[in-house]
Chain A
Amino acid sequence: MSASAEAVGRRANDTDSEVGLWIFLASEVMFFGLLFYGYTITRINHPQAFADASAHTDLLLGSVNAFVLFTSSLTMALAARSLRLGAQRASVRLLAATLALGILFLAIKCYEYHVDIESHLVPWGDFAVSGRLAGGERLFFFMYFVMTGAHAIHLTVGLGVLSVMLVGVARGTYTEQNSQAVELAALYWALVDTVWIFLYPILYLVHRP
């Protein structure tokens, strides 16, 4: 099986739809890149406020979510691989696991937002911090909500795509011979995962006293 898996896996030519999706993914990289750019410039202007504000984020929830999302990337890659090799039932189970992990991520994120709101960390309201660094800390939490919010929207879109894939594979619409849609969905899901790979250190790990 190993040898045939290798044969299935190695392709020299990209399909048109793969090329199209990668162009979309490159534009997504530039979209999130601008947010990271904004974050970087703001942090250069407010280094101490960003360090202090980052300590207010919930490291445990952020870390658990990183684990959940990184794991969902594995189940998604395995789901696409299973379908490519004709293991339809395994693919359905792995897609369901990916969907469940994605929903778990969103649920934890929503709970975290709830805690943030209760702790008055929303920058356009009655903000928890006052004093000299309050302005900079507000900017940190502005970036925090915009970046994690943009990520959550992408993840929600991904959940919709995954649901369609799950039904499609279960019904036999997507098969060993027709697995491309699932493969493209796996690419998009891995990109959403990649964004969290960078959001996690710059939002949760700036300064841990």
Chain B
Amino acid sequence: MTSTLRLIGVWLAVIALLGVSTGSAYIPMGRFNSIVCVTIGFIQALLVWTFFMRLRWSGLLVRLIAVTGLLWIVLLLGLSLTDYLTRHPVAS
């Protein structure tokens, strides 16, 4: 497969996932709606970063930098949510 075809294939996958994500919003699943469409977003982003941003062909240093940016967001959100998601209503 030539790399042009591969890039077009990645684009088709990203667009197909966009359709799935939009369609899923109309299926009532409660809080799982957001989990599904954000998970699809992560898959789309992984495709874009791997192929359009060429991480698949990058060296170790660039891959480390790419992961570090994400890691800090995961730490920030993850540690904060241990607080926000475990709060109990306090009578004022």
Q: Does A2 contact B (CB under 8 A)?
A: yes
Task: Name the B residues within 8 Å of A193 (CB-CB).
Answer: 48, 52
Give the distance in Å from the alpha carbon of A30 to the alpha carbon of B18 in the complex. 24
Task: Determine how close the nearest CB of chain A comes to the CB of B34; give it in whole angstroms.
Answer: 7
Residues of B within 8 A of A (CB): 1-4, 7-8, 10-11, 14-15, 18, 21-22, 24-26, 33-34, 37-38, 40-41, 44-45, 48-49, 51-54, 57-59, 61-62, 65-66, 68-70, 72-73, 76-77, 80-81, 84-85
Known: A14-B58, A14-B62, A37-B77. A26 touches B69 (CB 8 A): yes
Write 5 A-B pairs (CB below 8 A) sorted by A numbering.
A25-B65, A26-B66, A28-B69, A187-B54, A193-B52
Given A81-B3, A197-B41, A208-B25, list of 12 further CB < 8 A pairs? Answer: A1-B2, A6-B3, A12-B59, A22-B65, A30-B73, A33-B69, A37-B80, A41-B84, A44-B84, A74-B7, A183-B54, A193-B52
Q: Using an 8 Å CB-CB cutoff, how does the interface string of A164-175 with B read, 1 for contact, 0 for none?
A: 000000000000
Task: Name the B residues within 8 Å of A74 (CB-CB).
Answer: 7-8, 10-11, 52
Give the distance in Å from the alpha carbon of A187 to the alpha carbon of B62 in the complex. 12
Give the distance in Å from the alpha carbon of A206 to the alpha carbon of B29 in the complex. 11
Task: Determine how close the nearest CB of chain A comes to the CB of B65; give it in whole angstroms.
Answer: 4
Q: Does A178 contact B (CB under 8 A)?
A: no
